[in-house]
Amino acid sequence: MQFVSDAERQQLSSNAGNIPVADRVRMAFVCVAWLVTSCFAWLHEIPRLKAATESPAGVFGWFYGMDADWSLAFIVLLPLPLILLAVRLANRNSSQRRLVRPTFSEPRVAGRAQAVAVVVLFCLSLVSSAAIGIRSVSLAPVPGQTSRVSSVRFFELPPAYHDEFSYLLQSRTFLTGRLSWPAMTVQPDLFHQVHVLNRPTTASRYFPWTGLWMAPFVALGYPYYGHWLAGAIACVFFHRSLCRMMEFRWAVLGGVLIAVSPGLAVFSNLLLAHHPTMMALAVFLSAFLRFMDHYRVSDALIAGVALSLAMLGRPMTAAGFALPFGIWLLVAMIRQQWNRNAESPATWSPVRVLVGIGVPLLLGFCVLALMNHATTGSWMKSAYQLYTDTWTPRHRYGFDNANIDPSFPESKVLQAYDKWAENLTIAKAESNVEQRTFYSLRWTLGVAALTFCIIAAVPACFAFRDRRPLLLLCSVLTVHAVHIPYWYDGIMHWHYVFETAPLLIMLATFGLRAASQTLQVVIGTRFSALWLTSLILASWIPNWFDADSFWGPSRVTTAFQEQAFSRVRFEYFQRLTTS
C-alpha cells in the first residue's frame, strides 16, 4: 500500500472530479454487482438465520446445513461496506498518508514465462480431471466368486450414460476401418440399443468427431484419458485467447479458473461429445482472435478447420458458438470491400479469408455427407435424424414436439424412452433457460462469484475500443438461444450449454479485473486482492471439498456418487457375463 503527503493529497483531490467516464461506469457496475449479489445472498440466508435463532443452538445453528451456493459468499459479501468505511476513516484521520491511485500497465512478458504458464495450466487441468477419475469405488464379490471386495478406480468403470456406450461403439467401429456395420438380418428390433441405429445399418447415431478423437485412447484401453487431454488442451487455448485481450497476469488467472472448474472436471470423466467439441472451439477462438489482430489467411484457415471439427462433434453448439464471430467477419469483409480504392491498397483480401475459413467448413459438410450415406444410405439425412424420426419422434427439435401425427407408425417407437419427452411450450422453454443458466453458473465456478464478476464485466463488453469481450458474451447468448427449441434442459440440467462454461470464466476474468481496479483505488492492492480471492474461494470450495458439518458433500462428490451408482452396476453385469 502506497501513501503520499498532504501536498499530494490536495493534488489528488483537485483531480478527483476529472475521473474518466469509463472509470465512473466501471465503478458503478462494480457497485451494482455487489448490490445484486448481496441481495440474492440475503434472500437465501435470512430465512436460515431466522430458523437458526429459533433453534436450541441459536445463531450458531446457521453454520450447520449451509447453502453451498450462498452461505460462504454471504460471509464475504457482507463485510465489504464495513471495510470500505474503515479504510476511509483511517485515511481521513491520517494527516500524513493517503492511498495513491494505482497504475495498471504491465511490461511485456517474456516468452519463457508464457511457456511456463501454458505447462502449468495444462498440468493443472489434467490434475483436476484425474482428481475425480482416480477416486476409488468399492465392489462386492460377484456371486459364485470367492474373491474379496475389490476397489476400482472411477475411470476404470464402464460408462454411466447410454450416450457414452454409443460413442464407444463409434470409436471401435472406426478402429476397424469401417463407418458402420451391416444390420442384423434376423429380427433387428431385438438388438435395439439406445442412441444406436440398427436399420439400415448398425452404427452410432452421433456425429463422427467424438468417436474419431476417442479412437486412439480406446485402442490403448484408456478412453477417459482422451477427454482429460482434450480439457487440458482447451484450457491452454482459452488462456492464450485471454492473453490477446488482457494483461498476462489476468489471463493466467482466467486459465487457472478454467483448469479448476468443477463442471469441466466432472464432464471430462464422461465419454460425451463435449470435451472434444470444446477443444476444437478453443482452437477456433484462439485462431479467430489472432485473425482479428493480424488479418492473416493462415489464422482464418486454422479457425475454419477447428470450427469444422466442432461442427462434426456438436453441430448446433458449434453454430451458436461461432455465430457472433461470423457476423463480425461479414461486417469486416463488407467494410474492407467498401473502403477499397486505387489510392489505398487493401490490407487484407476478403476473398482469400473467405476461402481460408470456408473451404474447411465445406470439407466438413462433405465428411458429414459421406457418414450419412454410409449409415443411412442418404447423402442428406444423418443417422441422428433418422434415429429420431423412426424410434424417438417426440424427442425432435422444436416446439410442440410431443404432438405426433396420428398416422405415424407407433410399432417402431421405443415407447418408454419416447414418452419420457415432455411437450415443449413457451413456459417449458423459459424454465429450461432458467435451469440451464443457473446450473451453468453453479457448475462453471459458483453462482455468487460468477454473478458478481459477470455483472462487473458488462462495461468491458460494451467498450468501444475493444469489441472482443462483447463477442464472448454474444456467443454465450447464442449457444443458449439455439437450444431453446429443445424440450430437455440437459444432463445435470446444463449439458446443452456446457461449452459456454469457459466463456463465462473468461467474462468473469474481465469482471475480476474491473473490480480489482475499482477496489484498489479505495482499499489498496492487498485488501482488494484478499477480498476478491475470498469471494472466488467461497463459491469454489463447496463445489470441490466435502464439509459434513457445514454444507455436506461437495457438488463434485455428489456427481461422482450419482454416476458411480450406474457405473458400478454395469461393472457387475460385465463381471457376471464373463465369470
Q: Which residue from 126, 319, 285, 129 is spatially nearest to 207, judged by alpha carbons?
A: 319
> From CA 232, how far away is CA 249, in angstroms rounded?
19
Phi and psi dihedrals of 203, rounded to 5? -165, 160
Amino acid at 20: P
> From CA 243, how far away is CA 319, in angstroms rounded?
25
- Does 97 have pLDDT greater than 50? no
- Asked if residue 409 lies in contact with residue 470, where contact means CB atoms within 8 angstroms, the answer is no
Residues 553-566: tens digit of each pLDDT = 999 999 999 999 99
Cα–Cα–Cα angle for 250, 251, 253, rounded to 5 degrees: 60
- Does 14 have pLDDT greater than 90? no
Mean pLDDT on 309-315: 97
Q: What is the pLDDT of residue 139?
A: 86
Q: What is the pLDDT of residue 105?
A: 56
Residues 213-237: tens digit of each pLDDT = 999 999 999 999 999 999 999 999 9
With b meaning 16 or more CB within 10 Å and e meaning fewer, what string describes 30-49?
beebbeebbebbeebbeebe
Residues 373-416: tens digit of each pLDDT = 999 999 999 999 999 999 999 999 999 999 887 777 776 788 88
Q: What is the pLDDT of residue 98?
A: 46
- Asked if residue 329 lies in contact with residue 357, where contact means CB atoms within 8 angstroms, the answer is yes
- Asked if residue 200 lies in contact with residue 377, where contact means CB atoms within 8 angstroms, the answer is yes
Q: What is the pLDDT of residue 4?
A: 42
Residues 37-75: tens digit of each pLDDT = 999 999 999 999 988 888 887 788 888 889 999 999 999
Element (H, E) at 368: helix 350-376
> From CA 333, how far away is CA 342, in angstroms rounded?
17
Q: What is the pTM of this model?
A: 0.92
- The string of DSSP letters for 151-203 reads EEEGGGSPPSSHHHHHHHHHHHHHHTT-S-EEPPSS-GGGG-BTTEE-SSEEE
- Asked if residue 303 lies in contact with residue 360, where contact means CB atoms within 8 angstroms, the answer is no
Q: Residues 6 or more apart from 204 whose CB is under 8 A from it?
A: 166, 167, 169, 170, 173, 195, 196, 197, 211, 383
> From CA 466, how far away is CA 460, in angstroms rounded?
8
Other C-beta atoms closer than 10 Å to the C-beta of 72 total 25
- Does 95 have pLDDT greater than 60? no
- Does 102 have pLDDT greater than 90? no
> From CA 278, how far away is CA 286, in angstroms rounded?
12
Residues 144-166: tens digit of each pLDDT = 666 666 889 999 999 999 999 99
What are the grid coordinates assigned to 249, written together?
497476469
Residues 163-219: tens digit of each pLDDT = 999 999 999 999 999 999 998 777 766 767 889 998 899 999 999 999 999 999 999
With b meaning 16 or more CB within 10 Å and e meaning fewer, what string describes 383-397?
bbbbbbebbbbbbbe
Angle between helices 111-133 and 248-259 (to 10 degrees): 10
Residues 341-361: tens digit of each pLDDT = 655 566 788 999 999 999 999
